[in-house]
Structure 1
């Protein structure tokens, strides 16, 4: 069996869609003739932990860990109670202290605060690759400092190397949040181009991202492998017939994902047309949305906020919903939330609030899996919710089209073919 080393910052017990991408690839790679090894930090800093994901770590995987030093522990003392680490970046109402911290983060830690792991990792992996007979590596970012480990190993050992971009680098929406100087911007672009030109293969998680990366890499080919859903998880979960019309959103809500236009329409339907609608947000929700809901008497009664649940519990939430809400990032047509694929597998109709030319919208339209509404079109949202409400009352079932190409096994087969052709 051929061997491949995957270098990733996020690994269980880290939670979220970022960790699931490579957790699932490693689960199915042995079925296609590849034995995966995983290299990850021993003591990473992340906000969400999900120990239920550890059951998916294949016994065939060898996980190699090395301690990492990163400055995020110092941020904890400045965070307000209940705030998220990412809120410092995503908040539009930044105080002076937050701006200083962002400037320091952007201009002193290049390309990101995990940069201190690059040098010791290259030293450790140079020995491990030789001792275990591994000549193929995969790096996945963000954090994009992980790609610099791959770059240095490529230059030092001439390994075969795939660089996987779950999100962009210099075109990412948060890139402008760090008050970068002109010199630092040029360093980022140089690093990014070196990765894009030296990697044997580049992967992107969406079609828009692939196009951007191809242009930044001088026109090189960039393969698209999206995220997906695991058939095993849905086959193991029971089918549920929801009794009430509840629209649920599962995942993070922050200033880049703003559901307030949708909530205003829900309120209008409740008040003006006496619709019996309830909404639930399951996962980490920023303070801005919490305050918005709490300040409105109608929404405070009809909108429920629930904390993050482990991944093995989320399937019941999907299947007990009348419809599922998707709110992609603002101004990021290439952002495909990982939950979209699990939404598809759940068989519940999707209401997407975002641009109709986005990759997420394209997937929903092709699968005939729901409705897409621009966030500034209240009438279209009203009509969409009415349509979903009447479908629910009529007990209509849904049969989405062509979604098996997003199964984790099928996506891993595509990855294995790329590995075979390096």
Structure 2
């Protein structure tokens, strides 16, 4: 490789800002910098550093240069809203701002600053490779505007989540028809302008191709994944003792309070466990989620009331210990998001843990089933059959002997694929 190539990245969150939105490109920036790329990151300037973030992946790296732009949003919008009054005040104020500035998402308030900063860097550094990562989806639109002013750049849109198909759109209120029309128009415009489109799942690729007229060869899949450097030997304890008399199931990630969301699967699982108790099946849950410690206090299910809970802000070494202490790790896709690959699934893969996945279809279910993992739908009969299968594997010792390699989700390998894609000659 001759010299260093420059890459311009437009993203909203970047360390020390945390959240899953900053993880993908913190990791890719680290590994691409080792593949002779200098990454210029244009990201929002937040007033807070998140407790859990990926700053260690990019801090002190001379080939990851961060350029901050103002969010153009008051700082209190990004601080935790701990009371109903705070959440209501934030919702009203953000709604007023949105209507006043006609913003399609929170990043559009800073759209002109993103484009201006990007043009300065392109001019100063002679950059011709640009990646716009979203959501927020307006950064795709920013990339398209940049392409108009700088037609020689090669623009890649990097979809961490769907835009038009996303139910949130970064605003808590219901999405109006006029806003939806504008979002669809902006996304279509960005997709026409882009030279490449990268998505994180095959299901997302299918959704895009079904919604817009895009050359299928232009849309590639590069998954999220796990980083081996997050699991040094020092935090992985020797094999912990496991009792054949009890099946311990770990769940890590968001559950939410929506009774028709992921929580529904957990409640149904608890009911199934109670039904199987008469057959000698003994199952315990360990939950690391967003729910308050006393959330299940009034539930009829003793399994949920007695479930061991740990903080969602637990440090990574402690999280690894909890995962290794469990017999099987649970992954749940919301019924409306069967295409999703939750971030905790990659921890399970990296640590070689047996997995139990609940989803109404989706490519992840297919993949895990092909690898011999246990899967189920939200249907109680399916859940009960899966739990019984897990119990039998646990009692026989087959669960602990299970060994599956998921190295195709190693971020080092995925970054090498991104490197190859960015260096491909365009037709």
Normalised TM-score (structure 2): 0.84
Structure with higher RCO (Cα < 8 A, 6+ apart): 1
What are the residue-to-residue correspondences of 1:311-350 with 2, within 5 Å? 311-350=316-355
The 1:418–1:105 alpha-carbon spacing in structure 2 relative to 1, beyond 3 Å, is farther
Give the C-alpha shift of residue 50 in structure 1: 0.7
The 1:77–1:335 alpha-carbon spacing in structure 2 relative to 1, beyond 3 Å, is closer
Deviation string, structure 1 residues 123-150 (Cα, Å, up to 9, x no partner): 1221122223322111111111222221
Give the C-alpha shift of residue 187 in structure 1: 0.8
The 1:301–1:330 alpha-carbon spacing in structure 2 relative to 1, beyond 3 Å, is closer
1:155 corresponds to which residue? 148
Give the C-alpha shift of residue 323 in structure 1: 0.7
1:126 corresponds to which residue? 119
| Structure 1 contact 141–147 (Cα < 8 Å) conserved | yes
| Structure 2 contact 273–282 (Cα < 8 Å) conserved | no
The 1:242–1:348 alpha-carbon spacing in structure 2 relative to 1, beyond 3 Å, is farther
The 1:157–1:312 alpha-carbon spacing in structure 2 relative to 1, beyond 3 Å, is farther
Bigger mean CA deviation after superposition, 232-241 or 401-410:
232-241
What is the rounded CA distance, in whole Å, between the counterparts of 1:78 and 1:32 in structure 2?
A: 41
What is the rounded CA distance, in whole Å, between the counterparts of 1:61 and 1:131 in structure 2?
A: 16
1:227 aligns to 2:244 (yes or no):
no
What are the residue-to-residue correspondences of 1:3-402 with 2, within 5 Å? 3-43=6-46, 49-51=51-53, 53-57=54-58, 59=61, 60-70=63-73, 73=76, 80=83, 109-158=102-151, 159-174=153-168, 178-221=173-216, 222-236=219-233, 237-238=235-236, 239-244=238-243, 245-254=247-256, 255=258, 256-258=261-263, 259-270=266-277, 272-285=278-291, 291-296=295-300, 298-308=302-312, 309-355=314-360, 357-368=361-372, 370-376=373-379, 378-396=380-398, 397-402=400-405
| Structure 1 contact 106–178 (Cα < 8 Å) conserved | no
Deviation string, structure 1 residues 145-203 (Cα, Å, up to 9, x no partner): 22222122111122211111111111123359743333222111100101111111111
The count of aligned residue pairs is 403
What is the rounded CA distance, in whole Å, between the counterparts of 1:77 and 1:125 in structure 2?
A: 30
| Structure 2 contact 249–329 (Cα < 8 Å) conserved | yes
Consecutive unaligned residues in structure 2, runs of 5 or more: none
| Structure 2 contact 48–79 (Cα < 8 Å) conserved | no
| Structure 2 contact 58–64 (Cα < 8 Å) conserved | yes
| Structure 1 contact 366–401 (Cα < 8 Å) conserved | no
Q: Partner of 1:10: helix, strand, or coil?
A: coil
The 1:156–1:44 alpha-carbon spacing in structure 2 relative to 1, beyond 3 Å, is farther
Give the C-alpha shift of residue 301 in structure 1: 4.3
